[in-house]
Amino acid sequence: MGDHCRRLETIMVQGCREREDTTGAISTPIYQSATFRHRGLNKSTGYDYSRSENPTREELEKTIAKLEGGKSGYAFSTGMAAIDAVARLFSPKDHIIVSEDLYGGTYRLFEQVYKKYGVETTYVDTTDIEKVEAVLRKNTKAIFIETPSNPMMRITDIEKITSIARPLEILTIVDNTFLSPYFQRPLLLGADIVIHSGTKFLGGHNDTLSGIIVANKFIEELRFTQVSTGAVLSPFDSWLILRGIKTLSIRVEKQQENAIKISNWLNECKAVKEVFYPGLKNHKGYDISIKQATGFGSMISFNVNEKESIERVLEKLEVIYFAESLGGVESLITYPYTQTHAAIPEDIRNRIGIKDTLLRLSVGIENVEDLIEDLDRALNY
């Protein structure tokens, strides 16, 4: 099929579908097979063993690569498995600059796993280009950023980072989980590798785990790691992520619509001290968001006035679920201080703003008035 009329929404719905299918199936078949029969000696169908290649996973990988505008896609069992595969590109004494405000699991991986293998990391506010330049070393091999960041919603200028990195042959790696390729395409802004927790917006229904990499560099190295370590996404879960991607555009548009209304409401709520949402015009990264993304997403963080109110708020919410994760159709609220970011030392959490009064809200597709009424009951007792 030609690409002459295939815009993002069309690719999301129809997928890549480069593999010939004689059945006419509209939904990509689930090839729930561990192994594949050979037609004879040295006569492979192109599929030998599902750890190496599987037609359902291949369809997902080619679809997400096309959506991100990258050369090759890789589907893993979890988002952390995807980040681990990227981390394996580095050797002892290699140095990586990392956004200081990032998911606690990523921090844990670098600090408690790869530090033992000699990989060096420096955490810095990547929204400040001068701070990034100040920590560059001769052995710096990559700059790893989240934008928007988790949970403080900091916005890093991707093009500025790549303008620093590229002349020095430093990789730019972007975790694009919060915006998805529908709202932001880092590879088209000069990044080399994009990572997603596919569990979140790509899947969109809080029903499966997955991790995604799309790369323009280290194509063979990443494929070798995927096959060798074996943390591949199963055929059924690949199909679930493909099914989720079909509705990605309409889901994230509705989630964003709700998030804008909720962030404005929270801004006026007397029980709330501060709201962090890139779609608010007073957000520090608003102008950069307008420049490099087509949307603001649906993740909101906010500080309540008193720590003592956290427990009450979480217990009184009825429509919004108190649960970890994000990006699904159901609205979820999380307490980063003791949940998603507990692995980060307290002094660092406090310095970057992950205080004991901070809540993170993943806005779903429910009726926005129900969500606001739920927040009102919990916050304004």
Dist CA 231 CA 212 (whole Å):
11
Considering the domain boundaries, does residue 2 fall inside one? Answer: no
| Kind plus residue range of the DSSP H or E element containing 334 | strand 332-334
Residues 219 and 270 in one domain: no
- pLDDT tens readout for residues 246-295: 999 999 999 999 999 999 999 999 999 999 999 999 999 999 999 999 99
Residues 237 and 140 in one domain: yes
CATH number of domain containing 282: 3.90.1150.10
Please say if 200 is a catalytic residue: yes
Residues 28 and 166 in one domain: yes
Considering the domain boundaries, does residue 373 fall inside one? Answer: yes
Residues 222 and 362 in one domain: no
Please say if 175 is a catalytic residue: yes
Q: Which of 66, 154, 200, 223 is catalytic?
A: 200
Mean pLDDT of 64-84: 98
Q: Are strands 332-334 and 358-362 parallel, antiparallel or unpaired?
A: antiparallel
Residues 106 and 232 in one domain: yes
Considering the domain boundaries, does residue 366 fall inside one? Answer: yes
Residues 190 and 255 in one domain: no
- Domain extent at residue 131: 8-246
Residues 228 and 278 in one domain: no
Residues 260 and 366 in one domain: yes
Q: Which of 84, 175, 192, 374 is catalytic?
A: 175
Q: Which of 51, 62, 273, 355 is catalytic?
A: 51
At residue 1, the pLDDT reads 44
Instruction: Name the domain count of the chain.
Output: 2
Q: Mean of the per-residue pLDDT values for the chain?
A: 95
Give start and end residues of each alpha helix (H) in 114-207: 129-134, 158-165, 180-183
Give start and end residues of each alpha helix (H) in the chain: 8-14, 55-68, 79-87, 104-108, 129-134, 158-165, 180-183, 219-229, 235-246, 248-268, 286-292, 309-316, 346-352, 368-379
Please say if 103 is a catalytic residue: yes
Residues 163 and 284 in one domain: no
Considering the domain boundaries, does residue 85 fall inside one? Answer: yes
Q: Which of 31, 103, 114, 277 is catalytic?
A: 103
Whole-structure pTM value: 0.96
Please say if 138 is a catalytic residue: no
CATH number of domain containing 23: 3.40.640.10
- pLDDT tens readout for residues 169-224: 999 999 999 999 999 999 999 999 999 999 999 999 999 999 999 999 999 999 99
Among residues 246, 272, 294, the one where a domain terminates is: 246
Where does the pLDDT of residue 4 fall: very low under 50, low under 70, confident under 90, or very high at 90 and above? low
Among residues 246, 273, 298, the one where a domain terminates is: 246
Alpha carbon separation from 80 to 48, 94, 158, 293, 373 (Å, rounded): 26, 20, 22, 24, 35
Q: Which residues pair with 123 in a beta bridge?
A: 98
Alpha carbon separation from 268 to 98, 127, 198, 277, 311 (Å, rounded): 34, 27, 33, 14, 22
Residues 119 and 236 in one domain: yes
CA angle 339, 212, 288 (to 5 degrees): 75
Among residues 216, 246, 276, the one where a domain terminates is: 246
